[in-house]
Amino acid sequence: MRLNIALLPGDGIGPEILEQGRRVIEAVCAGFGHVFEGSTGLVGASAIEAVGDPYPQETHRLCLASDAVFFGAIGHPRYDNDPSAGVRPEQGLLAMRKRLGLYANLRPVTTFPALLQRSPLRSHLVEGADFLCIRELTGGLYFGRPQGRSEDGNTAYDTCVYTRGEIERILRLAYGYAQRRRGKLTLVDKANVLATSRLWRQTARELEREYPGVETEYLFVDNAAMRLIQAPRSFDVMVTENMFGDILTDEASVITGSLGLLPSASVGLHTSVFEPIHGSYPQAAGKNIANPLATILSAALMFEYAFRLPEEAGVIRRAVEASIEAGRVTEDIVAEGSRACSTSEVGDFVCSQIRALTQAPGKAKAP
């Protein structure tokens, strides 16, 4: 199979972690007989500096022409809190989501037995946690208009807008995943306060009768935030609007023990984008210390969702588990008293595990 993938390293640690993901893709393709074709594009601060646009038209064309997009991270501190900048790197990410029609972000949260002690939560609470967060990506406060500040700069305003069609689209996607998982869907909103949330809840109540095999529950966002900490195993599929999903999925990352362990997939109308959920971590850029495992696990999602190759995805996940169990990890999750590995050393180990798994006696390669 030929895999045509757009590579968008982005900013900060993006190039370093994406390089390890690229090496993993190459190792898997070599082991299963696939052909990997990767082309690199500019996005974020690096694109602003090169061409003045955080999501250039050339990058957009590359994404449209690819079977999947593999993305690193966006953001640079020199654009933070600088009204004179005019354009921000993060605008490139929003533009990519909007122009590619990426209406749904999928973030699986799964604990690793070898890292239960790394979670700030008690082991008995997080052991066995396995749920999928589905975040709406192209509506809400991040895209609503009007948006801005008053002339004197002392008042700022954002507008949250959702249509029934946007809500129904992502709810049907979420119900589909709930049907394939454990049959439970949790809608998170703030329907006691927000008009948009009331539309979300009304639409869900109309749809739930079409999915009698799925249990539907409704939680206010503050209650959901509390239950993520108190009882993470109570969730199966969680679906919510853009800003709530942004916050809750970052909160959920503590369950696994590190933000550097959570992958994501953004799916929609044209192509899909696969990326770690963490940011650009500019303080670590160029130091070869960032955790590449979320990026590598995002590659596993890409094999599974974009190319329908679950066996290849499983090999990547087994290699990541082996890396964690062997303690071949970066400083954010290394055991006390043990030596932390560099970003590239973790990549080396994972690739070696993939080669061992795919070259084992009797291992059949894909045609």
pLDDT digits (tens, 9 = 90+) for 66-92: 999 999 999 988 887 666 667 899 999
- Is residue 214 included in any domain, yes or no? yes
- Is the same domain home to 97 and 162? no
The CATH number of residue 275's host domain is 3.40.718.10
Contacts of 83 (CB under 8 A, 6+ apart): none
Q: Name the pLDDT band for 135 (thresholds 50, 70, 90).
A: very high
Same domain? 130 vs 94: no
What are the residue numbers of the active site? Answer: 142, 190, 222, 246, 250
Q: pTM of the entire structure?
A: 0.85
Reply yes or no on whether the pLDDT at 364 is more than 80: no
**Residue 183 confidence (pLDDT) above 90:** yes
Q: Which of 256, 287, 315 is the last residue of a domain?
A: 256
Of the given ranges (40-49, 108-117, 193-202), which has the lowest mean pLDDT? 108-117
> What DSSP designation does 133 have?
E
Q: Average pLDDT for residues 36-53, to the nearest whole number?
A: 95
Say if residue 249 is in the same domain as residue 133: yes
User: Does residue 366 carry a pLDDT above 50?
Assistant: no
Instruction: Encode pLDDT of 287-341 as tens digits.
Output: 999 999 999 999 999 999 899 999 999 999 999 999 999 999 999 888 888 999 9
Q: Are 143 and 250 part of one and the same domain?
A: yes
Percent above pLDDT 90 for the chain = 77
| pLDDT attached to residue 191 | 97
Looking at the structure, tell me whether residues 93 and 128 fall in a common domain.
Answer: no
Residue 112 forms part of a structural domain? no
Same domain, 79 and 202: no
* Shared-domain flag, residues 53 and 75: yes
Kindly indicate the confidence band of residue 360, based on its pLDDT and cuts at 50, 70 and 90: low
- Closest C-alpha to 157, from 148, 168, 169: 148
Domain boundary, last residue among 210, 226, 256: 256
One domain for residues 60 and 146? no
The partner residues of 40 in beta bridges, in order of sequence, read 7
In this structure, is residue 115 part of a structural domain?
A: no
- Reply yes or no on whether the pLDDT at 141 is more than 50: yes
For residues 134 and 6, membership in a common domain is answered with: no
pLDDT of residue 223: 98
Least confident window among 98-102, 285-289, 356-360: 356-360
> Is 42 part of any domain?
yes
Does residue 310 have a cis peptide bond before it, meaning omega lies within 30 degrees of 0? no
* Domain closes at, from 187, 222, 256: 256
**101-119 residue pLDDT tens:** 999 999 999 988 888 888 8
For residue 57, tell me if it sits in a domain.
Answer: yes
pLDDT digits (tens, 9 = 90+) for 254-288: 888 777 888 999 998 889 999 998 889 999 999 99
Assess whether 237 and 148 both reside in one domain: yes
111 closest CA partner among 129, 134, 90: 129
More reliable by pLDDT, 145 or 175: 175
Contact 292, 299 (CB under 8 A): no
Same-domain status, 216 and 327: no
Q: How far apart are CA 114 and CA 132, in angstroms?
A: 21
| Mean pLDDT for all residues in the chain | 93
The count of domains in the chain is 2
Q: How would you write 169-232 as a 3-class SS string? A: HHHHHHHHHHHHCCCEEEEEECCCCCHHHHHHHHHHHHHHHHCCCCEEEEEEHHHHHHHHHHCH
Tokens of 311: 């066996």
| Structural domain of 191 | 120-256
User: What's residue 286's pLDDT?
Assistant: 94
- Does residue 300 belong to any structural domain of this protein? yes
Residue 144 lies in a domain: yes
Q: For residue 51, tell me if it sits in a domain.
A: yes
Do 351 and 239 share a structural domain? Answer: no
